[in-house]
Chains A and B, each alone.
Chain A
C-alpha cells in the first residue's frame, strides 16, 4: 500500500458519481426491459462497486496484490453462481420410457 494520500476532492467526485448512478438505477428500473432489466441493474451496480473499490478502498493505488485478491473473490462467486445455474436452468423433466 502506498504512502500516497489521495486528495479529498477525489472522494467528493466519486460520491457524486455514485449518487448519479443511484438515480440512474432507479430510472432504468421504471422501464420494462424484460430480462435485460436485471442486466442493466447489475451493470450499474457493478460500476458503483468498482468506484468504491478502486477509489474509496484505494485499490487503484495499492498494488497488484489487492487487485488480484479482490478480483479472486468476485470471480469465485461467479463460479459458484454460474455452475449452480448450469444445473438450475437445464433441468428437464424425466419421463419413464413407455412400457
Chain B
C-alpha cells in the first residue's frame, strides 16, 4: 500500500483520478497520431484515385507474403501486449515481464522483416529520386507510389522503434516490481500506444500490398 501512496502525483486527489487522466491523455495523444498518419493517408487517397494503374504496378512490386506475415506478427504482438496488461492488472510480475518480452520480440521481428524489404528496395533501385529504377509504364506515378510506401511504412517503423523503447523501460520497471493491481497505468497506457501502431498497420497492409488483383 505504501508503494501506491508514493505513486500518487501531487496534482491528483487519488489514484483513480490519476489513472483516468493518464488513459484520457494517451487517447488524446493517439488522436493526434490518427491525424498525423491521416495526412499521409489523405495524399495516398488523392493519388490512388488519380493514378490507379500506377499504384497497382507499385503494389505488385511489394512482397505480398512478407506483408501478410508482418500483419500476423503485429496482431500476435497486440495479443501479447493485451496479456501483459492483464498480468499487470492482477499483479503478476513474471507473466507481465514475459509478455512484454514476447511483444518486444514480435515487434523486433516485424522490424527485421521491414529491414529486409527495405534492403531489397535499395538493391533493386526502387528508391524515389533521380535514379529510380523502374522505367516501365506510368513510371513517374509509380515513383509517387513508392514515395508513399516509404513515407507510410517509414513513419510506422519509427513509431515501432519508439514503442520498443517504451516497452524496454516498462520491462525494467516491471522487473523491479514497480507495478501492482493498484498502480499499473503506465502498462495500460503503453498498451494503448502499441495497439494503435498495430491499427495503423492494419490499414497500411491492404492499402499498400493488396492493390489490384493479387494471385
Contacts and interface: CB of A to CB of B under 8 A. Distances in A.
A96 B64 CA distance: 47
A28 to B, nearest CB: 8
A74 B75 CA distance: 21
Contact of A41 (B45, B46, B76, B207): B207
Q: Which of A29, A55, A62, A84 has the most CB atoms of chain B within a 10 A radius of its CB?
A: A29
A93 B76 CA distance: 49
A61 to B, nearest CB: 12
Nearest to B65: A26
Interface residues of B, number: 51
A45 B27 CA distance: 20
B213 A11 contact: no
Nearest to A44: B206
A85 to B, nearest CB: 6
B17 to A, nearest CB: 11
Interface of A: 1, 5-6, 8, 11-12, 14-15, 18-19, 22, 25-26, 29-32, 37-38, 41-42, 44-45, 48-49, 52-53, 55-58, 62, 65-66, 69-70, 72-74, 76-77, 80-81, 84-85, 88-89
25 contacts: A1-B188, A14-B79, A18-B75, A19-B75, A22-B68, A22-B72, A22-B75, A25-B205, A26-B210, A30-B213, A38-B48, A38-B207, A38-B211, A48-B202, A49-B202, A49-B203, A57-B192, A65-B24, A76-B31, A76-B34, A76-B38, A77-B42, A80-B35, A81-B45, A84-B46
Given A5-B86, A14-B79, 10 more contacts: A11-B79, A15-B75, A18-B78, A26-B68, A29-B213, A41-B207, A52-B78, A53-B199, A69-B28, A73-B34
